[in-house]
Amino acid sequence: MDLKALIRDIPDFPKPGILFRDITTLLRDPDGLRYTIDSMAEQCEDFAPDYIVGMESRGFIFGTPLAYRLEAGFVPVRKPGKLPAAVHAAEYELEYGTDRLEIHQDALPAGSRVLIIDDLIATGGTAAATAELIDRSDCTLVGFGFIIELTGLEGRKNLPAAPVISLVQY
C-alpha cells in the first residue's frame, strides 16, 4: 500500500516555509490505518517489547493499537502537568526555547523492554527526550518506530543507539 498517497501535504503550516505532513487523512482511511498498524507490528515484533511508550498525542494514536497487536502494555509520555503522580521529566530543545516531557515514575517496572512509538521523526528531540525517560526508569530501550521520517533533518543522529523503523520517508 502506498501510505504517501494517504498523507496530505499542507504547505506553510504551522508557519510559512514549513510543509506539514498531515496524518489525519491516513487515520480516516480504514485500510490505510490497518495497514499502518499491521506493518509496524510486523517490523517491530522481533524487538519483543514489554511496553510501548507513545508521546503525546499522536504517539498515543499509533502506540495503543500497536501495544495490543504486540501483546505489550502501553505507557503515555505527556506534556508537563498532565500526569497526576510523581514523574520523571526530560527537557528538549525546540526551534525557539525548550519543552519538557514527563512519565510516571512507577509507569515501567525496572528492566522492562521498551519500544518508543510516534507518528513522525524530524530532528529527533522528542524521541531522544523520551529515550532519556526510559533510561531514568531503569529500562532497556529496544527501538524506535515512526510512521513518517523526514530524512533531511537527520533526526536519527540525535537518538541513542537503538534500531529505528520508519514506514514512510520524505
Within a domain: residue 36?
A: no
Residues 24-39: tens digit of each pLDDT: 999 999 999 999 999 9
Q: Write down the pTM of the prediction.
A: 0.96
Within a domain: residue 34?
A: no
Within a domain: residue 152?
A: yes
Q: Average pLDDT of 138-158?
A: 97
Within a domain: residue 40?
A: no
Within a domain: residue 61?
A: yes
pLDDT for 12: 96
Overall domain count for the chain: 1
Q: What is the 3-state secondary structure (H, E, C) of the chain?
A: CCHHHHCEEEECCCCCCCEEEECHHHHCCHHHHHHHHHHHHHHHHHHCCCEEEEECCHHHHHHHHHHHHCCCEEEEEECCCCCCCCEEEEEEEECCEEEEEEEECCCCCCCCEEEEEEEEECCCHHHHHHHHHHHHCCCEEEEEEEEEECHHHCHHHHCCCCCEEEEEEC
Residues 98-143: tens digit of each pLDDT: 999 999 999 999 999 999 999 999 999 999 999 999 999 999 999 9
**Which of the following is catalytic: 42, 78, 91, 95?**
95
Q: What CATH number should be reported for the domain holding residue 79?
A: 3.40.50.2020
Residue 113 catalytic?
no
Residue 28 catalytic?
no
**Which of the following is catalytic: 58, 78, 113, 156?**
58
Within a domain: residue 17?
A: no
Q: What is the mean pLDDT of the chain?
A: 97
Domain encompassing residue 144: 48-169
